[in-house]
């Protein structure tokens, strides 16, 4: 049975933000209009900009050009507490440009590709008559971990990449076959039995079966110079060269083409799909990343399975940063506003409080996670309750309302809490999605306002797509993604949808949401970003404690 | 026709006020001179000619069209005025109106207008002389309290913030101020350009008056769902549940 949670989790964060002596219920305050100087990070920006002025020979950052000479800071510029952690950082620290952990999270996705080994082994054995044994596989993996970062094999007089620039690159294999896994050198193995709780490991191994796969992470610096579409090409070239070296093949014979096909297409899992021409991006870019895949990338489910809210909220955080801040906020649009929207979902313990309230309520009513009937009525009861509770907190705690000062922030948080609660309670993502949309309508009805224009479309007509069978209208939520019709333009939604996808499976205690290969691949201890604790890792990034990969300083003069 | 539109369910003061806003049958609380409204809007100097984007319709030789024969143009359309806007920010602390209800009021009662609804602002666009009339109607009526509502073309931040100590809605650009005589004065136009004179907008509502006239459900006013542990749904919630359920089921079409 679930642990009951302390209510009003956000009060601690509000005290950290506004100072512990302020009146929590006060609806009036003195606005001191202290300007940007009240905030350490803004002061740092201004000082740095001054230094740059002489160097650049032109003006740059100057908050006093804002709004005809009225700078930011007419209200209190408050910091943000990363939910579920002790990290308190400035808002600026959560813009992805200022936060290397957020960048690395995205880099870790786009530099990853999963490639099957079995088809290549069959080509080697049946087509070329080569012997494939655990020893040859280990030898291959040693060569591959030399070659994949950008080092030469087979050919003479080749250029190579500096190992210090590409040290994050690695390839490990995994399989559902314990006997084969036992034969693989530990350093090259993602050991499912070791990385996952026993029940999850069994489920994953059963789903993967006797197949074997390579979790390939090309160097971060490569995808930062090129893009996610590069990953399959980079990895395929190095895979082919490594096979040639490890199995003493002829470099030019037709069988190499079979290997190349296997490595590039036949047994390849991209992290995300290509986008259509109007949003033209190659595979392994954020717009094609499904909510279910993101739910599987986040690893909180294997370290905190008993707390499905925590599992879901780490997925929400990853999605808010990736879909809202990076995809919509930069690929699709521009500026700085997207960060402000997105942070509401993973800071100050607000969404946590609303979700724990809802899940406690559901557990009392239905007797545990995933016990509620998978019905519209479940969404109706739970979403109405959670949404009402959340709105009441905004009303009872004026600084909470002030913290989520935009309607889009509140809409996302209220609807996410309603959706996550409904999904955990029922173990069904579509019931969760129904709860999401009901919350949106209730919110609008109560306060006569919702989010920005887009919410009119996406959220007010959204209930019609929850149970639609038509492929351009409906889909299981796990299989929808950032480019799903109606979802392609609105901040404050996609991360939360990923969270609801995750919540259904977290409530059921599933080992994975959609794809066991993704779940295992992102458990690779060689990942740079901490996929098990997304919010803490963002906090580290904001607190300047996180070292990202792909750094070029090794080959540049010191600043 | 004997039919009287009902507009909105519920017997609470919020439900009643929402119906009033939608019907357009609103109480007039003040009379702000047209020139002052025009100055705060900031699109043209009071008394200046209207800019136009096309000749008067009468001079344009319009095609023979049954719709044109049925629908008389607004004054602004007939004259060829450009389209301009007024945008309002209403505090969540019991401002009389709320964005959707400003939009519903506009859509139902204001011919030739284009309302847009967000959380922290609500805009109506129309031909210039028409939007001036619609803006004055909003300013003068019980839809507006001059401390809790203000016209803000940009930098609208404030609807969800705590109020100033004097009861004014926070405004980064300080476009309005409380005078020592208890009246609220507009000192900048809606995009924050200083006015050449202060415009007296009159006295704000008392807190009790604002709560009486508001259209927002709040737990410290008229709650929509009762309170935690003592839920009691307003009729609006029942109606909404019904709509949500039908919308959800309509989408399920396995044919």
| pLDDT tens string A365-393 | 999 999 999 999 999 999 999 999 999 99
Contact list in B for residue A391 (CB cut-off 8 A) is 219, 224
Mean pLDDT of B94-120: 97
With CA atoms as reference, the chain A residue closest to B117 would be: A453
Which residues 161-190 of B are in CB contact (within 8 Å) with A?
161-165, 167, 170, 172-174
Mean pLDDT of A232-240: 94
CB burial of residue A384 (10 Å; 0-12, 13-18, 19+): buried
With CA atoms as reference, the chain B residue closest to A403 would be: B161
Inter-chain residue contact B245 with A380, CB threshold 8 Å: yes
Mean pLDDT of A509-524: 98
Amino acid A97: pLDDT: 96
A155 counts as catalytic: yes
Nearest to B100 by CA among A461, A437, A444, A462: A444
- Residue A268, SS3 per DSSP: strand
With CA atoms as reference, the chain B residue closest to A459 would be: B244
Tokens standing for A190?
A: 């993602």
Q: E strands of A375-495, at which residues?
A: none
3-state helix/strand/coil string of B191-231: CCCEEEEEEEEECCCCHHHHHHHCCCCCCCCCCCCEECCEE
Contact list in A for residue B101 (CB cut-off 8 A) is 448
Mean pLDDT of A511-522: 98
Which residues 66-125 of B are in CB contact (within 8 Å) with A?
92-93, 97-101, 116-120
Optimal mutation site among B93, B101, B116, B117, interface A, most CBs of chain A within 10 A: B117
Q: How confident is the model at residue A2 (pLDDT cuts 50, 70, 90)?
A: low
| B245 in A contact zone (CB under 8 Å) | yes
Inter-chain residue contact B160 with A391, CB threshold 8 Å: no
Amino acid A79: pLDDT: 96
Nearest to B245 among A26, A28, A376 (CB): A376
Contact list in A for residue B224 (CB cut-off 8 A) is 388, 391, 442, 445-446
Mean pLDDT of A16-39: 94
Contact present, B185 and B179 (Cβ < 8 Å)? yes
Give yes or no for residue A3 having a pLDDT over 70: no
CB burial of residue A259 (10 Å; 0-12, 13-18, 19+): buried
Nearest to A336 by CA among A472, A491, A112: A491
Mean pLDDT of B17-27: 97
Contact list in B for residue A446 (CB cut-off 8 A) is 216-217, 224-225
Mean pLDDT of B222-233: 93
Contact list in B for residue A29 (CB cut-off 8 A) is 162-165
Amino acid A491: pLDDT: 87
Inter-chain residue contact B249 with A376, CB threshold 8 Å: yes
With CA atoms as reference, the chain B residue closest to A454 would be: B118
- CATH 1.20.840.10 residue ranges for chain A: 80-86+282-518
Percent of chain A residues topping a pLDDT of 90? 84
Contact present, A353 and A393 (Cβ < 8 Å)? yes
First to last CA, chain A: 55
Inter-chain residue contact A401 with B160, CB threshold 8 Å: yes
CATH assignment of A111-269, given 3.30.70.260, 3.30.70.470, 3.40.640.10, 3.40.50.720? 3.30.70.470
For residue A80, what are the CA distances in angstroms to A17, A103, A252, B56? 7, 19, 58, 56
Amino acid B253: pLDDT: 75
User: Using one digit for the tens of pLDDT, what is the confidence trace for A417-458?
Assistant: 999 999 999 999 999 999 999 999 999 999 999 988 767 778
Nearest to B200 by CA among B220, B180, B215: B180
Nearest to A444 among B100, B155, B253 (CB): B100
Tokens standing for A387?
A: 């949404």
Q: How confident is the model at residue A415 (pLDDT cuts 50, 70, 90)?
A: very high
Whole-number Å distance between alpha carbons of A162 and A304: 38
> What φ, ψ does residue A534 adopt, rounded to 5°?
-60, -45
Inter-chain residue contact A449 with B220, CB threshold 8 Å: no
Percent of chain B residues topping a pLDDT of 70? 99
CB burial of residue A49 (10 Å; 0-12, 13-18, 19+): middle
User: Using one digit for the tens of pLDDT, what is the confidence trace for A119-139?
Assistant: 999 999 999 999 999 999 999
A98 counts as catalytic: no
CATH assignment of A80-86+282-518, given 3.20.20.140, 3.20.20.60, 1.10.730.10, 1.20.840.10? 1.20.840.10
Q: Which of A188, A341, A357, A389 is catalytic?
A: A341
With CA atoms as reference, the chain A residue closest to B154 would be: A67
For residue A421, what are the CA distances in angstroms to A358, A416, A435, B173? 5, 8, 8, 40
Contact present, A383 and A435 (Cβ < 8 Å)? yes
- CATH 3.30.70.470 residue ranges for chain A: 111-269
Nearest to B32 by CA among B133, B154, B181: B133
| A312 in B contact zone (CB under 8 Å) | no
Q: Which of A39, A170, A465, A490 is catalytic?
A: A490
Contact list in A for residue B253 (CB cut-off 8 A) is 468-470
Inter-chain residue contact A401 with B92, CB threshold 8 Å: yes
Give yes or no for residue A6 having a pLDDT over 80: no
Optimal mutation site among A354, A448, A475, interface B, most CBs of chain B within 10 A: A448
What DSSP element (H or E) covers A347?
none
Q: Which of A15, A454, A486, A526 is catalytic?
A: A454
Q: What rounded mean pLDDT belongs to chain A?
A: 94
Which residues 455-474 of A are in CB contact (within 8 Å) with B?
456, 461, 463-470, 473-474
Amino acid B1: pLDDT: 64
Whole-number Å distance between alpha carbons of A257 and A509: 42
Inter-chain residue contact A392 with B227, CB threshold 8 Å: yes
| A383 in B contact zone (CB under 8 Å) | no
Mean pLDDT of B194-213: 98
Counted across chains A and B, CB pairs separated by less than 8 A come out at 162
Amino acid B45: pLDDT: 97
Amino acid B255: pLDDT: 64
A15 counts as catalytic: no
- A349 DSSP 8-state letter: T
Mean pLDDT of A276-302: 94
Contact list in A for residue B167 (CB cut-off 8 A) is 28
Out of A311-315, A396-400, A456-460, B196-200, which region has the weakest mean confidence (pLDDT)?
A: A456-460
- Cα-based angle A49, A54, A55 (whole degrees, multiple of 5): 85
Mean pLDDT of A149-160: 96
Mean pLDDT of A281-301: 96
Which is more confident, A426 or B3? A426
Out of A328-337, A411-420, A508-517, B193-202, which region has the weakest mean confidence (pLDDT)?
A: A328-337
Amino acid A237: pLDDT: 94
Inter-chain residue contact A406 with B240, CB threshold 8 Å: no
Give yes or no for residue B73 having a pLDDT over 70: yes
What DSSP element (H or E) covers A360?
helix A350-366
What DSSP element (H or E) covers B150?
strand B149-151
Contact list in A for residue B189 (CB cut-off 8 A) is none
Which residues 100-119 of A are in CB contact (within 8 Å) with B?
none
Which is more confident, A385 or B229? A385
| B228 in A contact zone (CB under 8 Å) | yes
Amino acid A228: pLDDT: 94
Q: How confident is the model at residue A472 (pLDDT cuts 50, 70, 90)?
A: low
Amino acid A487: pLDDT: 84
Give yes or no for residue A471 having a pLDDT over 90: no
Give yes or no for residue A306 having a pLDDT over 60: yes
């Amino acid at each position: 049975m679930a642990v009951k949670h302390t209510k009003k989790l956000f009060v601690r964060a509000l005290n950290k933000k506004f100072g512990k002596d302020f009146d929590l219920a006060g609806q009036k305050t003195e606005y001191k209009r202290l300007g940007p100087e009240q905030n350490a990070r803004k002061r740092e920006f201004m000082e740095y900009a001054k230094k740059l002025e002489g160097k650049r020979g032109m003006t740059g950052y100057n908050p006093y050009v804002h709004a005809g000479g009225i700078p930011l800071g007419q209200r209190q510029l408050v910091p943000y507490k990363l939910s579920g952690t002790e990290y308190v950082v400035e808002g600026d620290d959560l813009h992805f440009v200022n936060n290397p952990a957020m960048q690395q999270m995205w880099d870790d996705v786009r530099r990853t590709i999963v490639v099957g080994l079995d088809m290549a082994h069959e080509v080697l054995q049946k087509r070329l008559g080569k012997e494939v044994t655990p020893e040859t596989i280990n030898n291959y993996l040693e060569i591959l971990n030399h070659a994949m970062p950008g080092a030469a094999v087979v050919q003479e007089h080749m250029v190579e990449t500096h190992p210090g620039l590409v040290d994050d690159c690695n390839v490990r294999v995994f399989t559902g076959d314990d006997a084969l896994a036992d034969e693989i050198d530990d350093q090259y193995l993602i050991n499912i039995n070791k990385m996952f709780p026993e029940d999850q490991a069994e489920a994953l191994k059963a789903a993967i079966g006797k197949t074997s796969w390579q979790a390939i992470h090309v160097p971060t610096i490569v995808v930062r110079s090129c893009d996610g579409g590069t990953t399959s090409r980079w990895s395929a070239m190095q895979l082919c060269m490594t096979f040639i070296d490890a199995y003493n093949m002829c470099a030019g014979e037709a069988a190499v083409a079979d290997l190349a096909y296997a490595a590039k297409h036949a047994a390849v899992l991209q992290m995300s799909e290509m986008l259509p021409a109007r949003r033209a991006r190659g595979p392994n870019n954020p717009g094609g990343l499904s909510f279910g895949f993101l739910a599987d990338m986040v690893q909180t489910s294997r370290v905190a399975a008993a707390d499905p809210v925590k599992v879901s909220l780490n997925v929400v955080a990853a999605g808010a940063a990736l879909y809202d801040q990076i995809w919509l906020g930069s690929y699709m649009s521009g500026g700085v506003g997207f960060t402000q929207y997105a942070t509401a979902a993973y800071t100050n313990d607000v969404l946590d409080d609303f979700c724990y309230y809802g899940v406690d309520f559901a557990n009392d009513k239905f007797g545990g996670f995933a016990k509620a009937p998978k019905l519209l009525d479940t969404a109706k009861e739970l979403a109405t309750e959670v949404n009402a509770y959340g709105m009441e907190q905004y009303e009872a705690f004026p600084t909470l309302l002030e913290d989520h000062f935009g309607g889009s922030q509140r809409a996302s948080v209220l609807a996410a809490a309603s959706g996550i609660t409904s999904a955990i309670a029922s173990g069904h993502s579509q019931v969760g999605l129904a709860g999401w949309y009901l919350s949106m309508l209730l919110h609008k009805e109560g306060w006569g306002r919702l989010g920005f224009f887009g919410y009119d479309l996406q959220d007010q007509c959204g209930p019609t797509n929850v149970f639609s069978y038509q492929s351009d209208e409906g889909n299981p939520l796990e299989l929808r993604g950032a480019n799903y019709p109606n979802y392609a333009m609105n901040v404050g939604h996609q991360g939360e949808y990923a969270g609801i996808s995750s919540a259904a499976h977290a409530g059921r205690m599933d080992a994975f949401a959609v794809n066991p290969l993704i779940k295992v691949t992102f458990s690779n201890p060689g990942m740079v970003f901490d996929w098990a604790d997304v919010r803490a890792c963002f906090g580290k990034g904001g607190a300047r404690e996180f070292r990202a990969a792909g750094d070029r300083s090794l080959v540049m003069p010191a600043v | 026709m004997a039919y009287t539109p009902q507009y909105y369910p519920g017997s609470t003061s919020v439900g009643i006020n929402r119906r009033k806003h939608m019907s357009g049958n609103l109480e007039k609380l003040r009379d702000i001179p047209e020139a002052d409204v025009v100055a705060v809007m900031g699109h043209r100097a009071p008394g200046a000619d209207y800019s136009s984007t096309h000749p008067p319709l009468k001079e344009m030789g319009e095609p023979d069209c049954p719709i044109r024969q049925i629908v008389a143009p607004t004054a602004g359309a007939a004259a060829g005025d450009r389209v301009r806007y007024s945008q309002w920010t209403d505090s969540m602390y019991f401002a009389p109106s709320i964005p959707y209800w400003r939009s519903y009021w506009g859509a139902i009662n204001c011919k030739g207008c284009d309302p847009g609804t967000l959380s922290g602002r609500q805009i109506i666009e129309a031909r210039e002389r028409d939007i001036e009339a619609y803006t004055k109607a909003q300013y003068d009526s019980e839809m507006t309290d001059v401390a809790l509502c203000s016209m803000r073309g940009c930098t609208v931040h404030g609807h969800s913030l705590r109020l100033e100590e004097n009861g004014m809605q926070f405004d980064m650009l300080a476009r309005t101020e409380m005078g020592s005589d208890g009246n609220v004065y507009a000192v900048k136009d809606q995009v924050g350009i200083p006015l050449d004179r202060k415009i007296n907008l009159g006295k704000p509502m008392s807190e009790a008056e604002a709560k009486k006239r508001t259209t927002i459900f709040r737990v410290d006013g008229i709650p929509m769902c009762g309170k935690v542990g003592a839920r009691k749904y307003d009729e609006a919630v029942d109606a909404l549940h019904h709509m949500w359920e039908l919308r959800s089921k309509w989408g399920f079409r396995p044919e």
